[in-house]
Amino acid sequence: MPSWYESLVEEARLAALTLLDRAEELANPTLRLGITGLSRAGKTVFTTALVHALMRGERMPVFRAMHEGRIARASLEPQPDDAVPRFDYEGHLATLVNERRWPESTRRISELRLVVDYAPARGGKRSLTLDIVDYPGEWLLDLPLLGQSYADFAAQSLNLARAPARAALAAPFLAALAATAPEVPADEAQARQLAALFTDYLAACRAEAVSMSLLPPGRFLMPGDLEGSPALTFAPVDLSPGTEAPPGSLHAMMARRFEAYKERVVRPFFRDHFARLDRQIVLIDVLAALNAGPAALADLEAALDGILAAFRIGRDSWLGALFRHRIDKVLFAATKADHLHHASHDRLEAILRRLVERALARAESTGTEIDVVALAAVRATREASVKRGRTTMPAIIGVPEAGQHGADAFDGLAEAAVFPGDLPDNPAALFDPTLGFRGLSDAEGGDFRFLRFRPPLVMRNAEGLPLALPHIRLDRALDFLLGDRLR
Ligand SMILES: Nc1nc2c(ncn2[C@@H]2O[C@H](COP(=O)(O)OP(=O)(O)OP(=O)(O)O)[C@@H](O)[C@H]2O)c(=O)[nH]1
Ligand SMILES: [Mg+2]
């Protein structure tokens, strides 16, 4: 039993926060729901849509509590944690509805408290306090670092950087590394240069056309308020096995900063935030990975492996001791399903199920309930059949965002019809590296794989407040995540 986790467990047990949580739970049933996913997966849009649905929802046939009219009211209340930024629900909703723009990228954790007054099916009145925590999935993938030495970390991340799918993107960093001896005296400028090149390589792997998922350390791409701090100014260097770091060397400096990253960044996140969650939804841009090709898909699978380990669903069950109570439900959701024709929604779900199952098979299950869904939290397209010559083809229609597609750039006002590629009905085909999948494509050969549509036009009520947002299967997600607590 390594000492780092014994003390982590101890800290978690003693955390006053947890005791407070417990007292509050008795007086007032509370559910802490984590919303996570890698950058651009759709966390902000999903969270906004979830809150809006609870406050104003209609058209939610599968979310039984709402469909049966048992949700009397949902209202925002001050959140419990004073040191965590509030999720800017009003701002994000206004951007979506008033400007028909997607919200800006958010780079850190945020929180929102919603109190839901409802009528249990057997009668009476109750309320459920829902604490929603939106945090970057990149941070979850840092969990394994806690068990690694700097030498382990350096060896692993350099292996990954030299893998065929990544080597070209890592070339500038690897070249700088080749010109560096780890035993030279520590030098801040050199540490910064290596850290910057390493971060550039991680960012290049995350670019849309590449769409890699497994890119620790998580804060290098999602620094939050730590940007530029020494705990983030390190990089892996080449070490021969078993070398001790000479005092005062670059190696020693990097190793010290790696330890600081673990202590000051990774551990506090797991202790203060992650360990307090009851349920979790993991949003995944499966389409982006499919569009980028088999290497991106394999990488996504490895990242899901890491995420499942963090949920203690797997072999790393020592983490269970950290939990006040175990996370009892996890939903994996493929986002942006509105980029596909509905005939492919089940296929997208099947692909995600297969990714998750393969990751689960490597871990032994501990009874956490897991489900998978393909959804669009905010549906930006509608479906139509479009005649091309003699054939009629299923199409999706939406307003593409301005400026995409170079020479024939869209103006951001006119609608366009796109013929989404069919997903294979047998997901296994996707895991064969010789068969690529060429996602969204136009019948005439235009490359629409990464087309973004503007958010939909939303109707308003007599007071000018936005009505329900169109969605795909958001009700199913809500029923899984909240339904049993509103019975
Ligand atoms: N069509 C469609 N696009 C979506 C949907 N959800 C998210 N998107 C697209 O995905 C982008 C990212 O969504 P966000 O909700 O900002 O993602 P995030 O996970 O919060 O991203 P970061 O804050 O950068 O980590 C948006 O700008 C939209 O272009 C959806 O339901 N439908
Ligand atoms: Mg966000």
Clarify whether residues 373 and 306 are in a common domain.
yes
Residue 335 lies in a domain: yes
Residue 462 lies in a domain: no
Residue 451 lies in a domain: no
- End position of a domain, from candidates 236, 263, 290: 263
Clarify whether residues 239 and 324 are in a common domain.
no
Q: Give the pLDDT confidence score for residue 429 in this predicted structure.
A: 74
Q: Give the pLDDT confidence score for residue 387 in this predicted structure.
A: 85
Q: Give the pLDDT confidence score for residue 57 in this predicted structure.
A: 77
Q: Give the pLDDT confidence score for residue 163 in this predicted structure.
A: 94
Point out the ligand 1 atom lying closest to the alpha carbon of residue 45: 15
Clarify whether residues 362 and 390 are in a common domain.
no
In 3D, which of 41, 40, 111, 117 has the Cα closest to residue 82? Answer: 111
CA dist 166 and 429 (Å) reads 23
Local confidence band at 3 (pLDDT 50, 70, 90 cut-offs): low
Structure tokens at 298: 């394999």
- End position of a domain, from candidates 228, 263, 298: 263
Q: Which helix (H) or strand (E) holds 64?
A: helix 64-67
DSSP tag of 400: B
CA dist 418 and 448 (Å) reads 8
Q: How many residues does the chain have?
A: 487
- End position of a domain, from candidates 263, 296, 320: 263
Clarify whether residues 398 and 415 are in a common domain.
yes
Q: Give the pLDDT confidence score for residue 227 in this predicted structure.
A: 86
Looking at residue 45, which CATH number applies to its domain? 3.40.50.300
Domain count, the chain: 3
- CA of 283, nearest ligand number: 1
Beta bridge partners of 280: 34, 330
In 3D, which of 121, 116, 102 has the Cα closest to residue 57? Answer: 116
Residue 268 lies in a domain: no
Point out the ligand 1 atom lying closest to the alpha carbon of residue 39: 25
Local confidence band at 8 (pLDDT 50, 70, 90 cut-offs): low
β-pair type (110-118, 30-37): unpaired
Over residues 465-469, mean pLDDT? 90
Clarify whether residues 231 and 314 are in a common domain.
no
Q: Which helix (H) or strand (E) holds 391?
A: strand 391-398
Local confidence band at 213 (pLDDT 50, 70, 90 cut-offs): very high
The residue nearest atom 26 of ligand 1, judged by CA position, is 102
Distance 375 CA to ligand 1 centre (A): 12
Supply angle C-alpha 191, 240, 200, rounded to 5.
35
Residue 466 lies in a domain: no
State if pTM tops 0.75.
yes
Ligand 1 pocket: which of 102, 286, 448 to mutate (most atoms within 8 A of CB): 102
Distance 219 CA to ligand 2 centre (A): 15
Concatenate the DSSP letters of all residues of 366-385 into one string. -S-EEEEEE-BSS---EEEE
Point out the ligand 1 atom lying closest to the alpha carbon of residue 40: 21
β-pair type (329-334, 279-284): parallel
CA dist 468 and 461 (Å) reads 10
**CA quadruple 12, 315, 366, 332: dihedral positive or negative?**
positive
Clarify whether residues 339 and 479 are in a common domain.
yes
Counts for the chain of helices (H) and strands (E), in that order: 15, 10
User: Which residue shows structure tokens 């802490």?
Assistant: 32
Residue 454 lies in a domain: no
Ligand 1 pocket: which of 36, 39, 40 to mutate (most atoms within 8 A of CB): 40
Structure tokens at 20: 């407070």
- Which segment of 88-92, 217-221, 302-306 scores lowest on mean pLDDT? 302-306
Residue 459 lies in a domain: no
24-50, pLDDT tens digit by residue? 666 789 999 999 999 999 999 999 999
Side chain identity at residue 120, one-letter code: P
Clarify whether residues 299 and 368 are in a common domain.
yes
Clarify whether residues 204 and 315 are in a common domain.
no
Instruction: Using the CB atoms, write b or e for 50-68: b if 16+ within 10 Å.
Output: bbbbbbebeebeebbbbbe
Ligand 1 pocket: which of 219, 336, 404, 472 to mutate (most atoms within 8 A of CB): 336
Side chain identity at residue 136, one-letter code: P
Q: Are 103 and 48 in contact (CB under 8 A)?
A: yes
Local confidence band at 432 (pLDDT 50, 70, 90 cut-offs): low
Range of the domain at 231: 145-263
Distance 26 CA to ligand 2 centre (A): 32
Clarify whether residues 129 and 149 are in a common domain.
no
In 3D, which of 394, 109, 73 has the Cα closest to residue 272? Answer: 109
Structure tokens at 291: 């569009």
Q: Are 364 and 314 in contact (CB under 8 A)?
A: yes
Supply angle C-alpha 295, 301, 306, rounded to 5.
130
Structure tokens at 470: 């169109």
Clarify whether residues 166 and 236 are in a common domain.
yes
Q: Ligand 1 pocket, 108 CB below 6 A?
A: no
Q: Ligand 1 pocket, 291 CB below 6 A?
A: no
Clarify whether residues 251 and 352 are in a common domain.
no
Inter-helix orientation angle 294-310/164-178, to 10°: 80
- CA of 42, nearest ligand number: 1
The residue nearest atom 21 of ligand 1, judged by CA position, is 40
Q: Give the pLDDT confidence score for residue 18 in this predicted structure.
A: 58
Which is more confident, 363 or 202?
A: 202
Beta bridge partners of 134: 35, 110
Beta-sheet strand order (sheet of 369-374): 71-77, 110-118, 126-136, 30-37, 279-284, 329-334, 369-374
342-378, pLDDT tens digit by residue? 988 999 999 999 999 877 776 556 678 889 999 999 9
> Which ranges constitute the DSSP H helices of 99-235?
150-161, 164-178, 188-206, 218-221
Q: Ligand 1 pocket, 48 CB below 6 A?
A: no
Q: Ligand 1 pocket, 420 CB below 6 A?
A: no
Structure tokens at 434: 């010789």
Residue 449 lies in a domain: no
Instruction: Using the CB atoms, write b or e for 424-454: b if 16+ within 10 Å.
Output: beebeebeeeeeebebbbbeeeeebbbbebb
Burial of 259 by CB count in 10 Å (0-12 exposed, 13-18 middle, 19+ buried)? Answer: middle
Clarify whether residues 203 and 300 are in a common domain.
no
